[in-house]
Each structure stands twice: as C-alpha cells, then as structure tokens.
Amino acid sequence: GENVEQHPSTLSVQEGDSAVIKCTYSDSASNYFPWYKQELGKRPQLIIDIRSNVGEKKDQRIAVTLNKTAKHFSLHITETQPEDSAVYFCAAGRTGGGNKLTFGTGTQLKVEL
C-alpha cells in the first residue's frame, strides 16, 4: 500500500519568513496530493491540492510542487503570518473508485512574532 512520509514534524519560523514542508510517497500510481491544515481543536481543512499532470500550483501565499520522478511533493508558505500556525498534513491518493487518501504524520508549524 501507499506510504507517506512528512518532514519536519515541527517547524518554527519568524513572521514574514517562508515555510517549507516536504512529503514523499511510495506508490507510483498515486496521482492526487492534497494538503490539509488543522488548527487546534478544529477539523482538517483542505488548503490546496495538486494532481499528477502538473508540477506546480499556487494560490496566493501558498504553493505546492510535485516531482513525480522522485515521488515527492512540497508545500511552500510565503510571508507567513501568526494565523498560519497549525498542523499541516500532506496526503496521497489515486483518482477513481475507492478514493483512499494516505496521510503523512503532520507538521506543527509555529509562526512567531
């Protein structure tokens, strides 16, 4: 089955700096890679996703890159703000029936003033 590894487990940055979280996956058939943000005591919510037919996707301050050959994908947050502090999860899955997502272990991001 799919195995997703996520690093780092904790990340502390100064407000305004950039943050990068990296994930690797094992199943070459995976073609859908979402990123979820979970604030303390709240549910995970999708912030951005990428499919295997593109290498990069950007939405304002967040961007995701995908390297299919190396089987890794990354989340980039620029100009970080205190409200970006949360746990971020990457996931990998396949399109088509089953719709199964395998999640990474999460990264606790703390943006300090």
Partner 1 sequence: ETGVTQTPRHLVMGMTNKKSLKCEQHLGHNAMYWYKQSAKKPLELMFVYNFKEQTENNSVPSRFSPECPNSSHLFLHLHTLQPEDSALYLCASSQVAGQGNTEAFFGQGTRLTVV
Taking CB under 8 A as the criterion, the residue among 50, 104, 109, 111 binding partner 1 is 104
Q: Does residue 71 contact residue 26 with C-beta atoms inside 8 Å?
A: yes
Work out whether 27 is an interface residue with partner 1 (CB under 8 A): no
Distance, C-alpha 44 to centroid of its chain: 12
Q: Which residue number, 18 or 95, has a Cβ lying nearer to partner 1?
A: 95
Give the bridge partners for 34, in sequence order: 49
81: left (phi over 0), alpha (psi -120 to 50) or beta: beta
Distance CA 100, CA 56 (A): 22
- By beta-carbon proximity to partner 1, the closer residue of 15 and 29 is 29
Q: Does residue 101 belong to the site contacting partner 1 (CB under 8 A)? A: yes
Nearer to partner 1, 80 or 109 (CB): 109
CA trace torsion 80, 81, 82, 85 (10° rounding): -40
- Per CB under 8 A, contacts with partner 1 among 60-99 are 89, 91, 93-99
Binding footprint of partner 1 on the chain (CB under 8 A)? 4, 6, 31-32, 34, 36, 42-46, 49, 51, 89, 91, 93-106
